[in-house]
Amino acid sequence: MKLRRLKPATFSGFRGTRAAPVRSATTLAKALATSVAAAAVLSGCQVMSPVQTTVPYQPADGVAVDLGAVQIRDLVVVSRAQGEVGTLSGMVVNTSAQPVTISFAAGVAAVSVMAQAPADKQTRLSGVPGTAPVTLPSVDAAPGGIIRLTISTPAGGASEVSVPVLLPDGIYANITPAPLVTISP
């Protein structure tokens, strides 16, 4: 058996091995410059778009109210229709050592309803076992609308807020008004 020697392959238009590394370095430099330019252009978008965590907002359906040692979060009114009874829903946190009476006034007649916030605790306005929900006798707006509530405490003063009125659906489906007390003559 006789071995043959093979000739090295030659490519047209290619001369030696020095041109290939020069072309690769040039291509690499152009790709790097393009990447840096794209990063600079795209990072400019951030200048006009502030980071969302630096913008205060309400991450829930309801509103927040601070009255000294009493904070109310996610405050909404749950009602079936305009003119009907509305139940307040939200979390009340009392950080003081004494119980606090909170007054809620709504509507043209500004009928006030009261709620007790136990000392150094949190409680729900819509009622928890052993407590009745806080209800407004009549809501001046239909579900999907907004009513103005004046909320006050003896030590924290008063605050007027716009509160959304929602249907008793979804997470609010179990929120029902307290039974109305009627006195027979």
The domain boundary, picked from 7, 32, 52, lies at 52
Instruction: Answer yes or no: is 42 within a domain.
Output: yes
Is the sign of the CA dihedral 66, 72, 73, 79 positive or negative?
negative
**pLDDT over 90 (residue 71):** yes
Residue 77 inside a domain? The answer is yes
One domain for residues 99 and 120: yes
Residue 76 in any domain: the answer is yes
pLDDT(63) > 70: yes
5-25 tens-digit pLDDT: 666 655 555 555 554 455 577
Region 117-130: mean pLDDT is: 86
pTM of the model: 0.67
Asked if 87 and 133 count as a contact pair (C-beta separation under 8 A), the reply is yes
The pLDDT value given to residue 36: 80
Does 103 map to a domain? Answer: yes
Task: Please answer whether residues 166 and 78 qualify as being in contact, where contact means their C-beta atoms are separated by less than 8 angstroms.
Answer: yes
**Range scoring the smallest mean pLDDT among 42-51, 94-103, 125-134:** 42-51
CA angle 39, 44, 46 (to 5 degrees): 105
Q: What is the DSSP string of 9-20?
A: P--TT--TTTHH
Per the structure, the complete domain to which residue 161 belongs is given by 63-172
